[in-house]
Amino acid sequence: MEKQGKKKVLKASKVLDIRFSEVDSMNVVWHGSYMLYFEDAREEFGRQYQLEYLRIADFGYYAPLVDMQFHYRKPITYGMRPRIDIIYRPTLSAKIVFDYEIHDPETEELMASGTSVQVFMDKNYQLVWSSPEFYEKWKQMWGVGEEI
């Protein structure tokens, strides 16, 4: 967790090992691999901040992705070990929003960025319009409940 001024920032990082199966014939990471990298980052965030998928399910909810965006800035190639950062974006809505940045391991140059949005569904697959109680408590615990 970092602080930017008075604002608390929940952030996690993970080093990615680019595998041969993730690149195309030009030796550049295939666009579909970015979804997996973002998923790896979400799992790392969940471990660090107690917001794992199974924990959400234990409270009686699912958190499906409803929007994901990628912005490519520089090719990532086989053998690189870029770092992905995931940053939680507080919102008043009943959703979980993350921003992502993938940085070159040697220059720190931004190679890709993106955003994802997850909503809450109950165990009957019905959309939940207000934040579940456990999520409100989670935001309070980490000090991000009132910041927008």
Mean pLDDT, to the nearest integer, of 36-53? 97
Summarize pLDDT for 89-123 with one digit per residue, the tens. 999 999 999 999 999 988 999 999 999 999 999 99
- pLDDT reading at 137 higher than 70: yes
Residue 102 token pair: 């993938």
- What are the phi and psi torsion angles at 112 (to 5°)? -160, 155
**pLDDT at residue number 24:** 93
Calculate the alpha carbon distances from 92 to 113, 136, 147 in Å. 23, 10, 9
b or e along 81-119 (b: 16 or more beta carbons within 10 Å of the residue's beta carbon)? ebbbbbbbbbeeebbbebebbbbbeeeeeebbbbbbbbb
C-alpha 31/C-alpha 37 separation (Å) is 11
Reported as a pLDDT band with limits 50, 70 and 90, residue 60 is: very high
Q: Are strands 95-103 and 110-119 parallel, antiparallel or unpaired?
A: antiparallel
Residue 115 token pair: 């955003």
**pLDDT at residue number 145:** 73
Residue 93 token pair: 């809505």
Mean pLDDT, to the nearest integer, of 37-55? 97
**pLDDT at residue number 5:** 52
User: pTM to 2 decimals?
Assistant: 0.91
